[in-house]
Amino acid sequence: MGKIANEVLIEKLTAKFPGEVAAISQDFGLLAVETTREHITEVLSYLKNDDELKFIFLTDITGVHYPEQEKAIGVVYHLHSLTTNTRIRVKVFLSADDVHIPTATTIWDGANWMERETYDFFGVIFDGHPDLRRILNVDDMTAFPMRKEYPLEDPNRIDKKDYFFGR
């Protein structure tokens, strides 16, 4: 079986979830769709279990922080259909004061550590996760370091200000 065209994917998803799934970009041929946290479990299991799509391989789960957006935290799923060699990116945006999303560990065992990593760095709480603890950072850390407001270096340093470099 060949690669599924993005148009076919969009058509199937909008037919199955009318108004709940929206295509947002097709950068470099990889379709990205956005959905809501109420539907993410259904969308993921539909993508995995549909006979024609078969996105059985969960490539990755990660987060992105957009502090200027109303819904600031994005959770990004990359799925791969090994039989048709198609990839898809599914995004859910959450507001920073309500970062709950259902877990994907009910669909893939491998989602466990990926979600722990996303929790560790972005503070996204995956409801129903069996063991949602920090994974790479120390347990008593209070911040979520991949959020944009967390500084990389000592903010009091004065030798690396942009204006020294004409920026």
Partner 1 sequence: MYNHPVYTDNDPQTEHSTLNLGPTHPATHGVFQNVLEMDGERIVSGVSTIGYIHRAFEKIAEHRPFYQITPLTDRLNYCSSPINNMGWHMTVEKLLGITTPKRVDYMRIIIMELSRIADHIVCNSILGVDTGALTGFTYMMQYREAIYEVFEEICGSRLTTNIGRIGGFERNFNHIAFAKIRKVLKDFNYGLKEFESLFNRNRIFVDRTRGVAAVTPEQALSYSWSGPILRATGVDYDVRAMEPYSSYDEFDFEVPVGDNGDVYARFLVRNEEMWQSMRLIEQALNKIEKEDSSIFHADVPAFYLPPKEEVYNNMEALIYHFKIVMGEVETPNAEVYHAVEGANGELGFYLVNDGGRSPYRLHFRRPSFINYQMYAPMSRGMLLSDAIINMSSLNVIAGELDA
Q: Which of 127, 120, 125, 126 is nearest to 150 (CA)?
A: 120
- State in angstroms the smallest separation of the CB of 64 from partner 1: 5
As measured in angstroms, the least distance from the Cβ of 159 to partner 1 is 15
* Rounded least distance, CB 8 to partner 1, Å: 19
Q: Report the SS3 class of residue 71.
A: coil
82 vs 95, beta carbon nearer partner 1: 82
Spatial separation of the C-alpha atoms in residues 9 and 106, rounded to whole Å: 23
**Sites of contact with partner 1 (CB under 8 A):** 25, 27-28, 30, 32, 56-60, 62, 64-65, 76, 78, 82, 85, 87, 89, 108-110, 112-114, 117, 121, 134-138, 145-146, 150, 152, 165-167
Q: How far is the CB of 58 from partner 1 (least distance, A)?
A: 5
Q: Which residues contact 54 (CB under 8 A, 6 or more apart)?
A: 48, 81, 82, 83, 84
Q: First and final CA of the chain: distance in angstroms?
A: 51
Which residue is listed with tokens 């120390």? 138
Nearer of residues 16 and 106 to partner 1, judged by Cβ: 106
* Nearer to partner 1 among residue 8 and residue 135 (C-beta): 135
Question: CA 45, 96, 138: angle at the middle one, nearest 5?
Answer: 85
Instruction: Identify which of residues 5 and 38 has a Cβ nearer to partner 1 in the complex.
Output: 5
